[in-house]
Structure 1
Amino acid sequence: MQLYRIVVGVILSICLSQSALAKWEEERDFTVNGKDELVYYFKTNEQGQKLVLDKYIKRLIFIRPDRLYKRTIRLIKIDDQPIEVMSDPFSRYPEQTAITFENKDEVLKKLFLAKKVEVFVRYNRDEAISTFQIK
């Protein structure tokens, strides 16, 4: 009877822990010299936009393939908690925008555990919200 309770407890905890963890998709890449393998985590939403979690430089990369490359990102929400950020477009890849934040380690931890990330994007005077559901 005691063994039965332990087995049921272990199975229950495994099932609950898997649903509690946020699931980012993985993308593997090799460095230029081909020696080191880098793992990046990303999520794509319904509009084809991509949010890449770069744990090496501790930033997010927002990718939106469109014709309006001049974009600014000043705010993201992680599970409805607002976080002020800074953005910097890539010169070689205009569809990509780097998102950096002050308290990098704390924000990265929140991003790994997040269920929903909202990115507030500004195109000149127009604003848009990109939502990423992470399951």
Structure 2
Amino acid sequence: MMPLYRLFIVAILWVLTSQIALAKWDEEWDVTTNGKDELVYYYKINDLGQKLVLDKYVKRLIFIQPDRLYKRTIRLIKVDGQSIEVMSDPFSRFPEQTAITFENKDEVLKKLFLSKKIEVFVRYNRDEAVSVFQIK
């Protein structure tokens, strides 16, 4: 009976600490097209008005920049100073949005949830820029 009690306490502590880790990101709620399921997306907005959305359902990041004029490519992000090579794919219906995908999705998502600073290296044709997102 005692080991079951300990397991229960550990499970409660794990849930509480995981909620604290997720609380660093802002939450956005959405409903599926059939209206039956509620989805939670985590996001951060930087000083330039750019938005980084953590899509845990498809296991990707979505970089949103309010300008529709520039086609952007993202090949690298840094999570707390650690470089991660990524692939990017612009959304055809939403030109201001770019999907960022990575090979080892589960490992990278865990790093993103626990990160304090994310740097996104964005290339606009020949020009390069770095977008920084502080997660507190």
Displacement, 1:66? 1.3
Aligned length: 118
Q: After superposition, where does 1:1-135 map in structure 2 within 5 Å?
A: 21=21, 23-135=24-136
Q: Which consecutive residues of structure 1, in runs of 5 or more, have no partner in the other structure?
A: 1-16
RMSD: 1.5
Conservation of the 8 A alpha-carbon contact between 1:75 and 1:82: yes
Once the two structures are superposed, residues 45-99 of structure 1 have per-residue CA deviations (whole angstroms, 9 ceiling, x without a partner) of: 0000000000000000000011433100000000000000000000000000000
TM-score by length of 1: 0.84
**Greater Rg over alpha carbons, structure:** 1
Distance 1:95 1:69 in 2: 8
Structure 1 moving runs of 4+ over 2 Å: none
Give the Cα separation in 2 of the matches to 1:54 and 1:33: 19
**In the aligned structure 2, how far is the partner of 1:21 from the partner of 1:90?**
29
Gaps in structure 2 of 5+ consecutive residues: 1-16
TM-score (norm 2): 0.83
SS of the aligned residue for 1:28 comes to: strand
Give percent identity, aligned residues only.
81
